[in-house]
A and B are shown apart, each in its own frame.
Chain A
Amino acid sequence: MDAQHITKKERMAIPRQEMPAQNPDVRNKNFREVNLGYTAELAQEEALRCIQCKDAPCIKGCPVNIKIDQFINLIALGDFTGAARKIKEDNVLPAICGRVCPQEDQCEKECVVGRKNKPVAIGNLERFAADYERESGSVELPKVQPSTGKKVAVIGSGPAGLSCANDLIQLGHAVTVFEALHELGGVLMYGIPEFRLPKAIVQSELEGLKKLGVNFVANTVAGRTVTIDELLSEEDFDAIFIGVGAGLPWFMGIPGENLLGVYSANEFLTRVNLMKSYQFPDNDTPVFNCKGKNVAVFGGGNTAMDAVRTAKRLGAEHAYIVYRRSEAEMPARKEEIHHAREEGIEFLLLMNPLEFIGNEAQWLTGAKCLKMELGEPDESGRRKPVPIKDSEFILPIDMAIISIGNGSNPLINQTTPDIAVSKRDTIVVDLNTMATSKESVYAGGDIVTGGATVILAMGAGRTAAKAIHEKLTAEAGK
């Protein structure tokens, strides 16, 4: 069909184009990407489903307000590189967001087509355009403004820090990104697995930033290696953006949590993704040997899905999700839940662990669990799980992975007491500028919101970059 002459009715009649994916029984044994991406034909067909609404409500659903109607039209017209550049006006990491955004709660939720049919696959199209641009080698480096002579330090190389660095370097400021780990990228590298977000994509985004002139310094922990105050006074940075994420794993505080075989999702995923222990012994870092074992992941978010699917790929006989509410309440992306089920993950819903049980040598052997039912809605509007009397039973497992969320790492707060934090230890900011209570220091991403999403972290990085730029240019004008 032809993008210029298609009627609305014809557009509405096209079914949503499914994303081609690896066969579930094959992919649950490898770490290659699950989704294979649209072909140009599939992308154009899907793009035709967009009815080009005048007010395009989908844009309001996107936290960074990508001009969705326009980029989709460009895809329909076959101008894929043009589409990628249109997206990049608002989102610097489209290949990543197209893959990991919870679209069903954001852009696609507002899509008009979605009222009667399935919404336009905005995320899949975004991913297609970005991949096309990268793979065809047509990525253009943006123009960098003449140097302002100002220096900005960015702490943390996750999506918040990267997007902030990207905007500031283009505006002519010198940018140095400090990262605690030996590898850049934050959760994109150490958390989200290869099978959902290939690391080569993150690397290519990092390469782009390096080419623009961003200076990356790994192995530097703000608060330990250098403090915020030292960066401002001794190293002459004019402003600082803190994007250190929410990286302090919560445990459940139940008996047996320190038995051998009980992990936090952070530790399990860090070992596998960052330290590549799935390639042990070629890589030195070991991880629990899941082969033929029963593994249970406690939680229902994206992290839990990533952990359980990783355990399955490492050879787990049974890989369970144990979640205390029902599937409808799970915070994970719908696609991940769907993919997990296809891969043979077993969902034990409405179940809550009470205690971990171990053997003589202190290895985990099981989890004592309680069955739950849904009661009245709680403050979050979700129906609250309540225990069913006398429903205790023991789930035999060899490994438990706790994935109930993360708090804030206190290293920066402890060494910079004049940055105000909330009761939950998140940094308090003015949401219009991301300015903290400390002069010249800004913050954004998970360290401000608590564990949230890639796109929100990116949006925060950009808001801060804009405010930092305004402040620095106002100072220069004085």
Chain B
Amino acid sequence: MYKIISSVFLAENIKKIEIEAPRIAKKRKAGQFVMIRVGQTGERVPLTIAGSDPEKGTITIIVQGMGKSTRELNSKEAGDTISDIVGPLGTPSHIEKFGTAVSIGGGVGTAIAYPTAVALKEGGNYVITINGARSKDLVILEEEMNAVSDEAYITTDDGSYGFHGFVTQKLQQLIDSGKQIDYVLAIGPIPMMRAIAEVTRPYNIKTMVSLNPIMVDGTGMCGGCRVTVGNETRFACVDGPEFDAHQVDFKNLTDRNKLYLPEEKQSAETFAHQCNLNKLG
């Protein structure tokens, strides 16, 4: 059993959770993730390590309630426990002094991009961050991002805050303004990452994306997380999750993530039903 130290909402449906996990806190590097099993009948879900406190022996994750497992996790409060957490998994982000690095986060992807933005800054880069959200209330980690950025932008789809439009448009604007961009990291929904790859492709800007295939073990044992990159099959949990955006077969990833749609729906509905019953009871 692993103890939750704190648990607070950052935006509707997005929670920041600090968990006791001393070995992981000591070892983790930017770009790595953990697998979490909330309870004894739970599934194993991958979640990026957003930060850690090695002294205190804790790690922080930022979780968006999507279906049953993430909503159940988000229903936990400080003092509650979860059954299992294992990590740090995956290959850490490759960090070097690229020059100007743009870190782009879409939705909860901002949480996943944040630790790597920190590492890019520590690696001596000029860091630009672009954080996209659907609207103002869904913007997360604004202060944190400002703190690590040399330039920070926020975009909202509805224009309720920051730049009115998509992160891709903001990136295009920066490129058009003649800024030399040496490296782009984009993390968010698959269509967003795919669109970013197309923005940078003509300019040959090195672009990395963090892929989110369905995982089971997260250690290279099942092959369920396989993705097609440069026409080769790679296991995202050990070879990734970050890959060269210009080589990724996004269509295959999109298709494969639909494998369990009916089951996910069923789980989410049952979970919502139970929650309502609890409220009534």
Q: Are B221 and A409 in contact (CB under 8 A)?
A: yes
Stretch at the interface among A40-48, A94-102, A266-274, A371-379: A266-274
Least distance between A41 CB and chain B CB atoms (Å): 40
Checking B87, B233, B262, B267 against A284 with a beta-carbon cut-off of 8 angstroms, the contacting residue is B267
Least distance between B165 CB and chain A CB atoms (Å): 31
Q: Are A225 and B43 in contact (CB under 8 A)?
A: no
Q: Are B233 and A257 in contact (CB under 8 A)?
A: yes
A251 within 8 A of B: yes
Q: CA–CA, A362 to B256, complex, Å?
A: 8
Q: CA–CA, A248 to B225, complex, Å?
A: 13
CB-defined contacts of A224 to chain B, threshold 8 Å: 27, 87-89, 219
Q: Are A181 and B217 in contact (CB under 8 A)?
A: yes
With A257-B233, A260-B255, A362-B252 as given contacts, are A248 and B37 in contact (CB-CB < 8 Å)? no
Stretch at the interface among A64-72, A78-86, A213-221: A213-221
With A182-B84, A225-B88 as given contacts, are A260 and B27 in contact (CB-CB < 8 Å)? no
Least distance between A269 CB and chain B CB atoms (Å): 9
B-side binding surface: helix, strand, loop or mixed?
mixed
Q: CA–CA, A131 to B241, complex, Å?
A: 46
B147 within 8 A of A: no
B187 within 8 A of A: no
CB-defined contacts of A391 to chain B, threshold 8 Å: none
Q: Are B68 and A251 in contact (CB under 8 A)?
A: no
A258 within 8 A of B: yes
Q: Are B219 and A219 in contact (CB under 8 A)?
A: no
- Closest B-chain residue to A266, C-beta based? B222
A475 within 8 A of B: no
The number of chain B residues with a CB under 8 A from chain A is 41
Q: Are A275 and B216 in contact (CB under 8 A)?
A: yes
B226 within 8 A of A: yes
Q: Are A284 and B219 in contact (CB under 8 A)?
A: no
Least distance between B29 CB and chain A CB atoms (Å): 10
A-B contacts at CB below 8 angstroms, number: 115
A286 within 8 A of B: yes
Q: Are B86 and A264 in contact (CB under 8 A)?
A: no
CB-defined contacts of A280 to chain B, threshold 8 Å: 263
The number of chain A residues with a CB under 8 A from chain B is 40
List B202-235 residues whose CB lies under 8 Å from chain A: 216-217, 219-224, 226, 228, 233
A53 within 8 A of B: no
Q: Are B223 and A411 in contact (CB under 8 A)?
A: no
A285 within 8 A of B: yes
A361 within 8 A of B: yes
Q: Are A411 and B238 in contact (CB under 8 A)?
A: yes
CB-defined contacts of B220 to chain A, threshold 8 Å: 247-248, 409-411
Least distance between A227 CB and chain B CB atoms (Å): 9
CB-defined contacts of B86 to chain A, threshold 8 Å: 180-182, 219-221, 225
Q: CA–CA, A266 to B88, complex, Å?
A: 22
Checking A180, A251, A284 against B69 with a beta-carbon cut-off of 8 angstroms, the contacting residue is A284
CB-defined contacts of A180 to chain B, threshold 8 Å: 86, 217, 219
Q: Are A248 and B216 in contact (CB under 8 A)?
A: no
CB-defined contacts of B224 to chain A, threshold 8 Å: 263-264, 267
CB-defined contacts of A362 to chain B, threshold 8 Å: 252, 255-256
A14 within 8 A of B: no
Q: CA–CA, A461 to B276, complex, Å?
A: 52
CB-defined contacts of B222 to chain A, threshold 8 Å: 249, 264, 266-267, 270
Q: Could you show 20 A-B contacts with beta carbons less than 8 Å apart?
A: A182-B37, A219-B86, A221-B89, A247-B221, A249-B221, A257-B233, A258-B228, A258-B252, A260-B259, A263-B223, A263-B224, A264-B222, A266-B222, A267-B222, A271-B216, A275-B43, A276-B41, A284-B43, A288-B259, A409-B219
A contact set with B: CB distance below 8 Å: 180-182, 218-221, 224-226, 247-249, 251, 253, 257-258, 260, 263-264, 266-267, 270-271, 275-276, 280-286, 288-289, 361-362, 409-411
